[in-house]
Amino acid sequence: MATLAPERWARLWPQLSAHWLLLLGFVVTVIPTLLALGAGPWSTEAGVHGPLVVATGIWLVFRRMPQIRELARPGNLGIALALLVPAVALYVFGRAYDFISVEVAALLLALFAVAYAYVGGAVMRLMWFPIFYLGFVIPLPGWLLDQITSPLKMLVSEVVAGALGLFGYPVARIGVTIFVAQYQLLVEDACAGLNSLISLSAIGLFYVYILRNTNWRYSLLLLALLIPIAIAANCVRVAALVLLTYYFGDAVAQGYLHEFAGLVTFTSALLLLFLVDALLTPVRNRLAQPGDEAFG
């Protein structure tokens, strides 16, 4: 094995040196964007899935390398340039004005254009899922995330207040504000864990693609259950915060929120997805039909 590595590098070096300009462009664009993501969106709960999506997305590409080599044909240069030129312009704009969503989306489009130019349309169609999956790296703007999660926050606050009220706790609700004893909790803030809906969707999609994509009917069912699972996990989170506040005070609950709640919510939602998948084994077997093909 030790002798194979130098031989492999000896074969690879001429290819790398022939495309040094492309590699230089890759380094000067991708690395600064990754650093910006690490210092920004990836350091928050809403973007915690980012590094995992990048790693697993690259793995999805490399696992198909034999098929890529077999199907690779140079793409249409005109189409590649039509994608690359606006992508570069958008990347410069996003980078200059600190619009990280625009920057990342433009970078992915530029990488797509370069890949198409080298390997052609057949390979890009083969790799449709990794391409779509890597789109989860694009951080959603805060205003859009608020629009998505706002109805869910209202639902979670209503469910939690109603459930705790049934157990005799002095709980009341006005909008997304929950009152318990002398305390009040804003689900607007306390339920920031609904941001994990994006993370759960990304990881759940990867899970379904790898393990269940040979049964496309069941895959669609499992994907449809991601949102109820995320809502259930966040109901548990908010209920725990309300009870901690009621018994131990606001300081303890806030400490729990900032240090543990996000991780616990995401982990519990992921485990709940695995549990639901296991419990639905009879349904999966019933939906499976001879001749079903993978969707990727």
Q: Which of 159, 239, 230 is nearest to 193 (CA)?
A: 230
Q: What is the pLDDT of residues 98-142, one digit of tens each?
A: 899 999 999 999 999 999 998 999 999 999 999 999 999 998 887
Domain range list for the chain: 4-39+65-126, 142-287
Single out the catalytic residue among 95, 173, 212, 237: 237
Phi-psi region of 63 (alpha: psi -120 to 50; beta: other; left: phi over 0): alpha
Q: What is the pLDDT of residues 139-184, one digit of tens each?
A: 888 777 777 777 888 888 899 999 999 998 999 898 888 888 888 8
- Prediction pTM value: 0.78
95 is known as an active-site residue: no
Quote the Cα angle for 131-133-137, to 5°.
Answer: 100
Single out the catalytic residue among 95, 191, 212, 235: 191
Where does the pLDDT of residue 219 fall: very low under 50, low under 70, confident under 90, or very high at 90 and above? confident
User: What are phi and psi for residue 171, nearest 5 degrees?
Assistant: -120, 135
H or E stretch covering 202:
helix 196-212
Q: Determine what percent of the chain is predicted with pLDDT higher than 70.
A: 81
286 is known as an active-site residue: no
Question: What pLDDT score was predicted for residue 2?
Answer: 45
Q: Which of 181, 204, 194, 201 is nearest to 250 (CA)?
A: 181
- What is the C-alpha separation between 159 and 166, in angstroms, rounded? 11
Where does the pLDDT of residue 54 fall: very low under 50, low under 70, confident under 90, or very high at 90 and above? very high
Pairing of strands 177-180, 183-186: antiparallel
